Amino acid sequence: MPIVHPCCGPVRSWGAITSQFFVPQDIKTADLDGDMHQDLVMRNAGAIVWSRNLDGQGTFGTLDTLFLSNWSPSWHFAFDLADIELDGDIDLVVLNRQDSLVVWLPNVNGLGSFGPAQTIGDLHGQGLLGTMKCSDIMSSSFPGSYRERRARREKKSVHQ
């Protein structure tokens, strides 16, 4: 499956990870390795992987696995990217929607090496969390908001 650049056409065709073809369900960009180039971070049914932007011109490296999920069904997990530790490195935040469990993987050296998943917590303990977004809504350089959608109403929460 080719990734298509809006002005340059196909950028890269994805190959195999282990013995299965990787078909991304979500794709985000962020500079994970501190080289000022936007890298690709992708999620499929069972993993989150990233591909280093090697030259800033659309040449991407091999896929490296960041997170393997045993959560089922696959649509029960999502991810976002934010500087959780406020150390200038982009970390990975993973949400298990079914259990409302949030974990994060720290970018330990700013070069795209990630540590083990650490539990942030169960956001409300009811298994109804629908979306989560890390953002700096207070311009404090602290990504501290999440949005939860419940079956009957919507609640906005800010954690500082």
Reported as a single tens digit per residue, the pLDDT across 15-49 is 433 334 567 788 899 999 999 999 999 988 778 99
pTM of full prediction above 0.75: no
**Quick one: CA dihedral 106, 109, 113, 115, positive or negative?**
negative
pLDDT at 15: 45
Q: Averaged over 85-106, what is the pLDDT? A: 84
Q: Averaged over 72-80, what is the pLDDT? A: 71
